[in-house]
Amino acid sequence: MNSLSSASRWTDGSMRKRVAKRYAAERRFRLFGLAAIALSVAFLAFLLVNMTWKGASGFTRAEVKIALDFPRSDLIVDPAALRGGDAERTLADAGLENVLDQAAVAQFGEGGADLFGGASARELASQLIAEPDLLTRRAELWLPLSSKGDVAAKTDGDPALEQLLAKAEVRRSFNSSFLTSSDATDASVVGVWGALKGSFLTILVTMALAFPIGVLAALYLEEFAARNRWTDMIEVSINNLAAVPSIIFGLLGLAVFLNFMHLPRSAPLVGGLTLALMTMPVIVIAGRNAIKSVPPSIRDAALGVGASKMQVVFHHVLPLALPGILTGTIIGMARALGETAPLLMIGMRAFIASPPQSITEPASVLPVQIFLWSDEVDRGFVEKTSAAIIVLLVFMLLMNGLAIYLRNKFERRW
């Protein structure tokens, strides 16, 4: 009797309503979860698309066809002089930029000179050097625009320039100099090569220090260390260091490496040292996990055939743990590659127009370069900043992809 009444309660109107309400709550909750993750993914997609959209145009440049009549211009350069080593210098001294400005005014009218800038003169010079007999005739050449002109051609910029460009023949081409040149004050000639090279040198120093130290420390803590107060202290400080804000490492680098040791300011050496101290705890933690996952039977077998503890570790445990350690290291390096704040502290925000030749020369790194460009007033820098961000993100994705590939390739279940 009892069971019947309870069964009938399920078909009861109020019960049904309650169940429906509970199921609705269930669906709502599920939907919230879906919405949360969809929102996060949508934000990521928006960020990436936004950056790509803004930055893609940084890899191209607008070019304009301009007629140049060299024999009739003020440019007095012997074509033979252009075969020498400092031909660019000769052309600049002969007033190439003035000639270009005059031609622009002649063709586009008043204000036409604004269309051309440093990049245009540089490109014209290199075309003249490649083809010296242009100097003897009238020629129609495609030249890149100045930063202002570029902005006007691609998006909406100065209305006067836009009107001029409406009459001109404009095309877009790949801006290869963005990948090969360095920082400059003129947005039309800037490039990321100097910052990229600085980043490589810095990461090289970081890796050369953090990887061996991190691996050795992980081996010691996992394989040799007795559990006592000392190793506890080491462990606690490693865990804390992994969570210390990165800017604090910048302060450390400033106080110790620059003010105390007088190492060269804004050099990849100091940047690398600072980032190495920051990355090392990450590598130690990843390394310990990898070492821990090597099964004890391997150690026992090696010990059983007479290897010393040191041989067990270096001949058997380390090679087996290495893929895991490498994955952790690459992830740590990727983080170091994107780090900005500590490098600002040690003076890596200087204007550096030439790529560094060694680790003691002043250099910039890619994230700092992005930060510096983001501060520029010139509108031409907006797309360059986004383009530099694309380059940085590509490197990050490559490194993380490599880490995932390594993990999948070498992952082993014992």
Residues 358-397 contacting other proteins, CB under 8 A: 367-368, 370-371, 374, 382, 385-386, 389, 392-393, 396
| Residue 225 per-residue DSSP state | -
> Cα angle at 102 between 122 and 60, to 5 degrees?
40
Q: How far is the CB of 335 from other proteins (least distance, A)?
A: 7
Q: Which of residues 288-307 bind other proteins (CB under 8 A)?
A: none
Q: Which of residues 270-289 bind other proteins (CB under 8 A)?
A: 277, 280-281, 284
Q: Which of 12, 17, 18, 37 binds other proteins (CB under 8 A)?
A: 37
| Number of shown-chain residues binding other proteins (CB under 8 A) | 89
Locate 278 and state its tokens. Answer: 């920051």
Give 39 or 160: the residue with its C-beta nearer to other proteins.
Answer: 39
| Residue 263 per-residue DSSP state | P
Q: Which of 109, 404, 410, 411 binds other proteins (CB under 8 A)?
A: 404
| Residue 218 amino acid letter | A
Give 167 or 315: the residue with its C-beta nearer to other proteins.
Answer: 315
What length does the chain have? Answer: 414
Q: Which of 9, 30, 172, 292 binds other proteins (CB under 8 A)?
A: 30
Identify which range of 170-178, 197-205, 296-304, 345-353 contacts other proteins by CB under 8 A.
Answer: 345-353
Contact 122, 180 (CB under 8 A): no
DSSP string, 326-351: HHHHHHHHHHHHT--HHHHHTTTTS-
Identify which range of 97-105, 184-192, 217-225, 292-300 contacts other proteins by CB under 8 A.
Answer: 217-225
Q: Which of 67, 233, 394, 398 binds other proteins (CB under 8 A)?
A: 233
Look at the block and give the residue holding tokens 């490496």: 257
Contact 330, 399 (CB under 8 A): yes
Q: Which of 66, 152, 252, 275 binds other proteins (CB under 8 A)?
A: 252
240 exposure class (CB count in 10 Å sphere: 0-12, 13-18, 19+)? exposed
Query: Is residue 26 part of the contact set for other proteins (CB under 8 A)?
Result: yes
How many angstroms separate the CA atoms of 372 and 352, rounded? Answer: 11
Q: How far is the CB of 187 from other proteins (least distance, A)?
A: 15
Strands (E), 124-188: 138-144, 170-174
Between 176 and 215, how does the x/- string for binding to other proteins read (CB under 8 A)?
A: ------------------------------------xxx-
363: nearest Cα among 374, 348, 375, 373: 348
